[in-house]
Every structure is written in C-alpha cells, then in structure tokens.
C-alpha cells in the first residue's frame, strides 16, 4: 500500500526570487533567456563562462554578437523555435571569440518562453558543454574501431595459419605418398630385375617360369598360375604358387585339374590377346573361370576375390599362354602399378618362352646336323683299337666344323680322317659334310691319302664354290698281324703324335702341310708310319692345343699328357687327353675338340 | 602440378577467401554501429595467399558494391590468382576479382549474406 503519511513540512521561502536566482546561478548548465527579437535578456554564470564574457555584458546583444560568426547555426536554431513555437534540441559546435580556446561541442535545447501561456517572453536556452564527453566518446569509438580492425586481421591470421598448417600437412602427406611411390617403384624394378635375371639364367623355360610364378607370390598376388598352350594346342598348367601354405594343397589340386573351357575368361584372353581383370568376383563370374563343380568349389574355398589374366605374347603377335594373378580375402586390390607390372611380367615371360623354344629348336637342329657329320659309332677293325671324342665349344645351337670318320676303304684297308673346317654354323656344316664325304669317296677310289687331300683341295677351290678352307689329316690303315701300317697326309693340320709302347712320344713327320682349299697348286705328301704292338697314333684338332692359357705350349702339354698314358687303352688315352685339355681351358673348350686314337694292341688283339 | 593438387589448392584458396569475406562482414557490421565510422576501413585482403597480411582500404560504399556479388572479392592489386579468378574491376587501392569454377561455387555457397550460407571452414564444404 502507498505510504499515506504526510511528508515533513517545508518552511516557506522568505525570498523566493533570491532562491531562484541562487538556483539559476548554481546550475552547472548554461541558461539564457532571449528576448523575442533574439537579444540576450539574461545568462547564468555557467553560460557567461562558456562565452568568456561577464553575464551583464550579454544583455541586449544578439547571439551572433556573443558567440561569433560561427553561430549562424545557433541563431537559426533560435529563429526556428520562434517560428515553430516548439522546443528544439541540437548539437552545435561553437568557438566563442571572447572565450578563446578550441571549439566546443554543445548540446543546445531551445524552447519558447511564455507568460500566462500566451504572451511570448522570448526564447529560453539550456546549453550543455559536451566537448569532453564527446572527446571521450570519440576516443572510445576510435579504440573500438581499432579493436574491430585488429580482431578482423587477427582472425585472418588464424585462418592463414590454419591454411598454412593444412598445406604443410598436405605437403608432408604428399611427400610421404611420393616416398611410398618411389619405394614401390624401386621394389617393382628390383622384382623385374630379379625375374629378368632368372629368366636369363637358363633356357629351361619350364623351370624358369615356375621360379617366376613363385617370385610373383605374394609380391603382386596371393596366388599365381601360368598356363601354356602346348604344341598340340592343349592347355598345360606349367606353374602354380600360393602364398598361404595352409591353402597350398587346395591350390595344387586346383592347378592339377584346371581345364579352362573355350568360353572361359582364359579362353577369351587366349583368343583376343587382351588381358581381363575380374574384380569382386561373384559366383557367376567364378563359373566363367571354371566349369567343373569340383574346380568351382576349390576356387571358392581358395577365396578368390579378384582374378586377373594376362596373355603371354610371342614375338609374332600370337599368344603362348596366360599369366593369372589372384587376390583372395586378404583385402588387397590390384593397383594400376600392379596391372602394369603384370603386363610387363607376362611380356617378359613371353619373350623368354619364345627365345627358349627357338633355342631348343635350334639346338635340336644343330645336334641333329652335328650328329650327321660324325660317325654313329666307330667300326670294329681286327687288330686295331679305336677311340674317339668330340666336344663342341660354346653355344649348342651352332654346328661346329670338326669332323672325323673311320671306314673301310679296301678289302683289308681302312681309312681314318679327321679335320677342322674354318668357322661355325651352317656354312661350316656344309663344308664339313662335303669334306667328309669327298674324302670317304676318294679313299675308296684311291689308296693314296695325299691324292685324296688333293681331290678335296680341288673340290673346295672350284667345285663347291664356297670360299672356305679346312685342315685335315687322312690316314690309310693297313692292319697286319701284330702291326699296323699307316700312310698319312696332312693338309694344314697339326702333326699327329705317336705314343710308343715304351712311352716315348713322337710327332709324325710331315705334319701341317698346305691348307686345303687355299691354293690350287698345293701339294700334299704321304708319310709312312709303322705302329708296333702297344703303339698309339693320336689324331687331333687344334682345339686340343690352341687355347689362350697355352701360350704356345699346347702341343708340349699334349705330348706330356700323352707320355703319361703308356700302356693304356685307346679309350683311356682319349679320356685323359680330353680331361687335360678341358682342365687347361677352365672346363669349357674354346674351340671344338676332336680326337681319334688308333692303337695297335700290345697283345695283337683289337677292338673298337 | 597434379590435377588433385590443383583441386585441393583451388578449394583451399576459395575457402580462405570466403573466410576473409566473413571476417570483413563482421568488421563492417561492427563499424557501422559506431556513431562516426571512418571514411576508409582497412579490410582484410580477400586474396587466397596464406602469406598475405595486407589490408585493403575501402569505404563502406565501395565495400558494399563488391559484396553485392556473392562471387566477387576485394584484393590488393598484385594479389590476383589468374588461374582461379578474373579481374572485373581495377582501382588504385584495390582490385575486384570474380571467382571461377569450384572457387566460384564455394564463394556462392559461403556467401554470408545468404541465410543458407555454409561456414567456409566447415570440413565437409567440399
């Protein structure tokens, strides 16, 4: 409830005018009363101080006279009040000339003053100096403005720092990815280098492809399968490897029974020559790979998830087989690099396979041709012991030029020939065949070895038309009871050696002679030789004596070896000489080696 | 530069610029509340460089003219990324660029004057 008690009594003012005057003078704001013609009637001390003039000096003067030329605004304000008859408040900036000092900012409130509500006494004004307050406000505004700007730029700096951090992190991540890529590339290069080395290490493509399959697991796949098209067009699983030993048995069973059908993925790859990669295999896709229910079950148990098949190309645009790489539930997927690597791997396997097959074919041809240039077996000559050796040098795909033969050339006579055609390969093989068969024919017609060599010389120089030459020794053997008469002729050939029963080694006179096929006027000479029981005649090609380490001492080495074979059979002597020659040449002959030992048995018997 | 790197960089620049625009919007909003806003306001340069610490001085009117287009930004004269933006206005104190491609899309998505705008630094903006 409202307090209804009466307020304390206030004593009446004895001097109300004086009291009002005191209030007027004490007001902290400037107060002025202007006459209707806008002259000062009175101002209080506060306004007088603001104007810099005593209060009494205002009376009768206009606003402009007191406040200076800059007071047109103030004067306009008072006129407006007069004209509209309502109070107006406005902020004015003044610099009263009498006060001096800086401009002051004033809040001015002007209002009309009436007496008895109708009679205009003039215009009242209350003036408040807000210069200091305004300055403080302006300073606060400036500070706030600066703070806003500073905050904005600080926030921008935070954004930039965050961006820089993200960029730095991204750069680090990219560097890490780059490092991982470089490592992967290095691993791939190493893998390919290893595979290439393995492929180059042997021409046994079955073995090397199995090794390639093994090395691919688990590097690029969880299991790997190589299938080749065999010559009869059936498919053959050549190699299989699985990275999980626990599943190896299943994998082996799968590989053993893998018979892809014509419409299978593998069949399509073989026909098209283009790789196919099946990812996230469905049961339907698995049946595209295999049709046999047991195979399908094995494939499912092996957990095949992604199955890639690449053609193994040959050098003529055909397809030799396929390379299949499989990823199981390990979660791995084929990357672009894996797919590229698989293609390179299949291409290299194809190159190796083509080379290996070509090598095998050429080796077979060379072997067959070489065999045709040598006797299948030496004849059995009563009273004569024979032994021979032939060691081809170097590449097995190239036919050598060494040859020898022993054959009956008359009722009781036999002929032994041994020669060396210059060069290797098909041309040498042709000359070798021609030389061998020419001498065989000549020996039947003519018993004189020198004449036989002359015939061969003429044939090589003219009839055959091949600019090649050869060396040869032709020996006519005349077995007699307990002895062996021999007539020899040499055509550019190293001298034969005789190992006498006593152990002495003798070079047969007449060795070397003119090369066959070089000179039309070449003359060959016969040399007569008599082998006593236990004596051995050794015919050989220069592959036995001419080698780098020999330093010209090859024939001496041979003689020394032969000298140590006293009393040994022809076969034993051939073995010993062969072994010594190989030892002196580091185990691999630099040139073809052909040896023919003809021995007169010590007991007069003889066998081949 | 890889395509992925370029996309990332373009997006990063666009997000930076959108963030600077948002900061400038807050700045102008604050300054407008003052009784006597300054004639030239040192706004944050809205370029995409993370090294830029510059200020673009614009009047509120100039600022408003730029902001009238959601894909335009005010940058210092030599702070233009020609591969991501076109210069549409050149002034002595600043250049107005218009964003292209992904950056343009991000600019529009993050326009602070759009009620449905996305926070430019939201991780899922892309």
Instruction: Indicate the domain borders of chain B.
Output: 3-109
The residue ranking higher by pLDDT, A234 or A264, is A264
Touching check for B102 and chain A: CB below 8 Å?
Answer: no
CA distance B55 to A146: 13
CB proximity under 8 Å: B 31-90 to A: 31, 34-38, 41-44, 50-53, 55
A416 and A339, same structural domain? no
In this complex, which of B26, B38, B121 lies closest to A145 when CB atoms are compared?
B38
Integer-rounded Cα Rg, in Å, for chain B is 14
A419 and A293, same structural domain? no
Shortest alpha-carbon distance between residue B50 and chain A (Å): 5
List C-alpha distances in Å: A414 to A474, A475, A481, A499, A591. Answer: 11, 8, 15, 20, 28
List C-alpha distances in Å: A115 to A31, A82, A119, A198, A350. Answer: 18, 15, 5, 125, 124
- A3-12, A141-150, A443-452: which has the minimum mean pLDDT? A3-12
Does residue A516 belong to any structural domain of this protein? yes
Touching check for B101 and chain A: CB below 8 Å?
Answer: no
DSSP E strand stretches across A288-413? 306-313, 319-327, 385-391, 402-408
Residues of B with Cβ-Cβ distance to A144 under 8 angstroms: 30, 34
CA distance A388 to A374: 10
Last residue of a domain, one of A366, A398, A423: A366
Contact A152 B35 (CB under 8 A): no
Touching check for A18 and chain B: CB below 8 Å?
Answer: no
Does residue A327 belong to any structural domain of this protein? yes
A394 and A353, same structural domain? no
Does residue A155 belong to any structural domain of this protein? no
Is the CA virtual torsion B18, B20, B23, B25 positive or negative?
negative
Highest-confidence segment of A130-134, A580-584, B49-53, B59-63? B59-63
Mean pLDDT of B75-98: 92
Shortest alpha-carbon distance between residue B31 and chain A (Å): 6
- A214-234 pLDDT tens trace: 888 888 888 888 888 876 667
Last residue of a domain, one of A129, A148, A172: A129
**Is beta strand A497-499 parallel, antiparallel or unpaired with respect to A526-531?**
unpaired
Mean pLDDT of chain A, nearest integer: 86
**Is beta strand A306-313 parallel, antiparallel or unpaired with respect to A276-278?**
antiparallel
**How far is C-alpha A137 from the geometric centre of its chain's CA atoms?**
73
Contact B43 A138 (CB under 8 A): no
**CA nearest to A161 within chain B:** B50
- A13-51 pLDDT tens trace: 788 888 888 888 899 999 999 999 999 999 999 999 888
CA distance A218 to B97: 55
A392 and A350, same structural domain? no
Is the CA virtual torsion A199, A202, A205, A211 positive or negative?
negative
Phi, psi (deg, nearest 5) at residue A443: -65, -30
In chain A, the percentage of residues whose pLDDT exceeds 90 is: 35
Contact B53 A157 (CB under 8 A): yes
**What one-character-per-residue DSSP string does A188-221 give?**
HHHHHHHHHHHHHH-S-HHHHHHHHHHHHTTTT-
CA distance A163 to A584: 76
SS3 A521: coil
Touching check for B20 and chain A: CB below 8 Å?
Answer: yes
Q: Which residues pair with A406 in a beta bridge?
A: A416
Please report, for the domain that includes residue A207, its CATH number. 3.30.450.40
Shortest alpha-carbon distance between residue B86 and chain A (Å): 22
Last residue of a domain, one of A366, A395, A418: A366
A608 pLDDT band, cuts 50/70/90, is very low
A402 and A342, same structural domain? no
Contact B8 A163 (CB under 8 A): no
Domain range for A49 is: 16-129
pLDDT of residue A235: 74
Please report, for the domain that includes residue A68, its CATH number. 3.30.450.20
A377 and A497, same structural domain? yes
CA distance A273 to A268: 8
Touching check for B121 and chain A: CB below 8 Å?
Answer: yes
Phi, psi (deg, nearest 5) at residue A171: -65, -40
**For the stretch B114-124, what's the b/e string if a residue is b when 16 or more beta carbons lie within 10 angstroms of its beta carbon?**
eeeeeebeeee
CA distance A200 to A212: 11
CA distance A530 to A487: 9
A383 and A293, same structural domain? no
Q: How many CB atoms lie within 10 A of CB A304?
A: 23
Residues of B with Cβ-Cβ distance to A138 under 8 angstroms: 36
pLDDT of residue B64: 95
Q: How many CB atoms lie within 10 A of CB A94?
A: 24
A539 pLDDT band, cuts 50/70/90, is very high
Question: A317 Cβ partners below 8 Å, 6+ apart?
Answer: A273
**CA nearest to A138 within chain B:** B36
Touching check for A395 and chain B: CB below 8 Å?
Answer: no
A432 and A306, same structural domain? no
Touching check for A256 and chain B: CB below 8 Å?
Answer: no
SS3 A465: coil
Identify the CA nearest to A58 among candidates A41, A72, A70, A35: A41
CB proximity under 8 Å: A 121-160 to B: 137-138, 141, 144-145, 148-149, 151-153, 155-157, 159-160
A555 pLDDT band, cuts 50/70/90, is confident
**CA nearest to A155 within chain B:** B23
Residues of A with Cβ-Cβ distance to B38 under 8 angstroms: 145
Does residue A184 belong to any structural domain of this protein? no
Touching check for B12 and chain A: CB below 8 Å?
Answer: yes
Does residue A137 belong to any structural domain of this protein? no
Order of strands, edge to edge, in the sheet holding A483-491?
A: A402-408, A414-421, A470-480, A483-491, A526-531
A514 and A406, same structural domain? yes
Residues of B with Cβ-Cβ distance to A146 under 8 angstroms: none
Does residue A75 belong to any structural domain of this protein? yes
Residues of A with Cβ-Cβ distance to B53 under 8 angstroms: 153, 156-157, 160
- A86-128 pLDDT tens trace: 999 999 888 877 777 888 889 999 999 998 888 889 999 999 9
In this complex, which of B8, B34, B41 lies closest to A144 when CB atoms are compared?
B34
B40 pLDDT band, cuts 50/70/90, is very high
ipTM of model over 0.95: no
Does residue A433 belong to any structural domain of this protein? yes
Touching check for B8 and chain A: CB below 8 Å?
Answer: yes
Q: How many CB atoms lie within 10 A of CB A153?
A: 20
Half-sphere exposure of A314 (CA within 13 A, CB side): 14
Half-sphere exposure of A513 (CA within 13 A, CB side): 30
Q: How many CB atoms lie within 10 A of CB A11?
A: 5
Mean pLDDT of chain B, nearest integer: 85
Touching check for A25 and chain B: CB below 8 Å?
Answer: no
Does residue A154 belong to any structural domain of this protein? no
Number of domains composing chain A: 3
Contact A153 B5 (CB under 8 A): no
**CA nearest to A149 within chain B:** B27
What percentage of chain A's residues is helix, strand, coil (to nearest 5)? 45, 25, 35
SS3 B17: helix
A388 and A362, same structural domain? no
SS3 A68: coil
Mean pLDDT of A137-157: 90
- A397-401, A411-415, A475-479, B22-26: which has the minimum mean pLDDT? A397-401
The whole-model pTM stands at: 0.52
A447 and A585, same structural domain? yes
CA distance A307 to A188: 20
**Residue A368: pLDDT above 90?**
no
Contact B50 A167 (CB under 8 A): yes
The pair of structure tokens assigned to A17 is 């005018």
Q: Running DSSP on this structure, what letter comes out for residue A463?
A: I
């Amino acid at each position: 409830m409202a307090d209804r008690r009466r307020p304390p009594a206030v004593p009446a003012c004895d001097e109300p005018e004086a009291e009002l005057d005191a209030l007027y003078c004490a007001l902290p704001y400037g107060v002025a009363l202007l006459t209707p013609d806008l002259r000062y009637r009175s101002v209080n001390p506060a306004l007088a101080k603001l104007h810099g003039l005593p209060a009494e000096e205002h009376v009768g003067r206009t606003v402009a006279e007191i406040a200076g030329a800059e007071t047109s605004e103030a004067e306009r304000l008072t006129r407006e009040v007069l004209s509209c008859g309502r109070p107006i408040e406005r902020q004015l900036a003044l610099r009263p000339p009498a006060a001096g000092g800086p401009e002051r900012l004033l809040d001015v409130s002007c209002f009309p003053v009436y007496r008895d509500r109708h009679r205009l006494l003039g215009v009242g004004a209350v003036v408040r100096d807000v210069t200091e307050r305004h300055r403080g406000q302006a300073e606060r505004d400036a500070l706030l403005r600066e703070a806003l700007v500073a905050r904005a730029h600080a926030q921008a700096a935070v954004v930039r720092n965050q961006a820089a951090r993200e960029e730095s992190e991204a750069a680090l991540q990219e560097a890490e990815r780059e490092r991982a890529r470089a490592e992967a590339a290095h691993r791939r290069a190493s893998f390919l280098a290893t595979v290439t080395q393995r492929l180059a290490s042997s021409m046994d493509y079955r073995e090397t492809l199995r090794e390639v399959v093994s090395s691919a697991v688990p590097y690029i796949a969880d299991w790997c399968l190589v299938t080749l098209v065999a010559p009869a067009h059936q498919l053959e699983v050549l190699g299989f490897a699985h990275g999980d030993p626990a599943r190896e048995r299943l994998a082996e069973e799968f590989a053993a029974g893998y018979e892809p059908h014509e419409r299978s993925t593998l069949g399509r790859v073989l026909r098209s020559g283009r790789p196919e990669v099946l990812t996230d295999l469905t049961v339907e896709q698995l049946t595209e790979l295999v049709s046999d229910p047991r195979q399908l079950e094995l494939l499912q148990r092996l957990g095949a998830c992604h199955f890639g098949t690449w053609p193994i190309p040959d050098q003529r645009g055909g397809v030799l087989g396929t390379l299949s790489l499989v990823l199981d539930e390990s979660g791995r997927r084929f990357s672009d690099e894996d797919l590229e690597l698989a293609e390179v791997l299949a291409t290299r396997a194809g190159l190796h396979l083509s080379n290996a097959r070509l090598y095998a074919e050429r080796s077979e041809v060379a072997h067959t041709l070489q065999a045709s240039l040598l006797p299948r077996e030496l004849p059995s000559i009563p009273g004569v012991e024979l032994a021979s050796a032939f060691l081809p040098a170097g590449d097995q795909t190239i036919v050598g030029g060494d040859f020898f033969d022993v054959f009956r050339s008359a009722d009781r006579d036999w002929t032994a020939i041994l020669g060396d055609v210059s060069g290797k390969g098909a041309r040498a093989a042709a000359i070798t065949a021609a030389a061998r068969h020419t001498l065989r024919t000549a020996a039947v017609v003519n018993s004189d070895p020198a004449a036989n060599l002359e015939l061969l010389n003429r044939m090589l120089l003219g009839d055959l038309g091949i600019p090649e030459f050869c060396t040869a020794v032709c020996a006519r053997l005349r077995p007699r009871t307990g002895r062996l008469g021999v007539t020899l002729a040499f055509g550019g050939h190293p001298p034969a050696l005789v190992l006498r029963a006593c152990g002495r080694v003798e070079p047969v006179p007449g060795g070397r002679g003119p090369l066959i096929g070089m000179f039309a006027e070449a003359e060959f000479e016969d040399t007569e030789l008599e082998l006593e029981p236990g004596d051995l005649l050794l015919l050989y090609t220069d592959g036995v004596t001419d080698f780098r380490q020999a330093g010209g001492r090859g024939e001496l080495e041979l003689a020394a070896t032969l000298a140590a074979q006293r009393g040994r059979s022809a076969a034993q002597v051939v073995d010993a000489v062969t072994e010594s020659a190989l030892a002196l040449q580091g185990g691999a002959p630099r040139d073809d080696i052909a040896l023919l030992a003809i021995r007169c048995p010590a007991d007069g018997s003889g066998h081949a | 530069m890889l395509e992925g790197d370029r996309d990332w960089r373009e997006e990063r620049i666009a997000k930076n610029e959108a963030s600077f625009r948002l900061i400038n919007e807050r700045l102008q909003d604050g300054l407008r509340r003052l009784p006597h806003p300054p004639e030239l306001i040192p706004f944050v340069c809205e370029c995409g460089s993370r090294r830029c610490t510059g200020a673009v001085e614009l009047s509120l009117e100039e600022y408003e003219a730029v902001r009238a287009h959601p894909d335009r930004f005010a940058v210092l004269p030599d702070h233009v990324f020609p591969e991501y933006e076109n210069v549409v206005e050149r002034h002595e104190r600043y250049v107005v660029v218009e964003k292209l491609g992904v950056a343009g899309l991000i600019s529009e998505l993050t326009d602070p004057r759009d009620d449905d705008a996305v926070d430019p630094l939201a991780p899922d903006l892309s």
